[in-house]
Amino acid sequence: MGSVFAFLGTFLLSLFVALLAALQLADHFGAGEEFILVLMVIAAMTVVAMLCFAITYAGARKVRAFDIVAVVLAILALALVALPAFVEWHAGRSARVALLDRDNIKLTLALLVPVLLVILVQWGLLRRRWLRALGAEDLSRWPWVVTVIGGLIVLNPIGLEFVHAALRELRQAPADWSRHFRVMATGAAALTLLVMAWIEYYIRSRMLRRLAGPSA
């Protein structure tokens, strides 16, 4: 019974995080009726991801199986959001124009970001529970602290507006860097998050090696 509640809690938490991100993106882009379809796809992908991780949880012999499933699901999500652009390209539009179309970008972000969050949350929680059930160390190298900080910084009305304005400025006059404060600030923030993520990854790796002992 404890496992049932654990899986249910993981499912609901991942779905909540995904819907919260999707609503923020939909509100920023002013999504219309097509957003209903996006929500349905997110819910379906949440169920599919949970089933895949549940099967992995029951049959995995090594923790690496969780990593493989997460990567495969992420590739599937990327393929899914690239489908509209591929259809337009196949109909005669250039691939570059199709990918940069505003409607395609809007739907891509509103779908891809929440689905990737679903995969990340389910991977992290179920991987951790699986290791604890074996009595093994459940610490991972993934920079969870920086991930949460980055999500809070970007997935809010101010953060999304700032990033959107930076991208708009970049498209208008990419050569005049001195006038593009938002572009430079956004790039600096992204670089800072990447450095912080690497530092956290390094610290976690050192901790894992220390916990593993001389045999590591």
Going by C-alpha positions, the residue among 86, 148, 87, 108 that lies closest to residue 26 is: 108
Q: How many CA atoms lie within 13 A of 160 on its CB side?
A: 18
- Average pLDDT of every residue of the chain: 81
Q: What is the pLDDT of residue 1?
A: 67
The dihedral region occupied by 135, where left means phi > 0, alpha psi between -120 and 50, and beta the remainder, is left
pLDDT tens digits for range 64-108:
999 999 999 999 988 877 765 555 555 555 544 444 445 556 767
Rg (CA), the chain: 20
Greatest mean pLDDT among 27-36, 165-174, 202-211: 202-211
**Distance between CA 137 and CA 96 in Å, rounded?**
46
Instruction: Delimit the domains of the chain by residue range.
Output: 1-138, 141-216
Structure tokens at 141: 């190298």
> Poorest-confidence range of 11-15, 37-41, 122-126?
37-41
pLDDT tens digits for range 146-198:
999 998 888 888 888 877 777 666 656 555 554 567 777 778 888 999 999 99
Percent of the chain past pLDDT 70, that is, above it, reads 77
Q: What is the pLDDT of residue 216?
A: 45
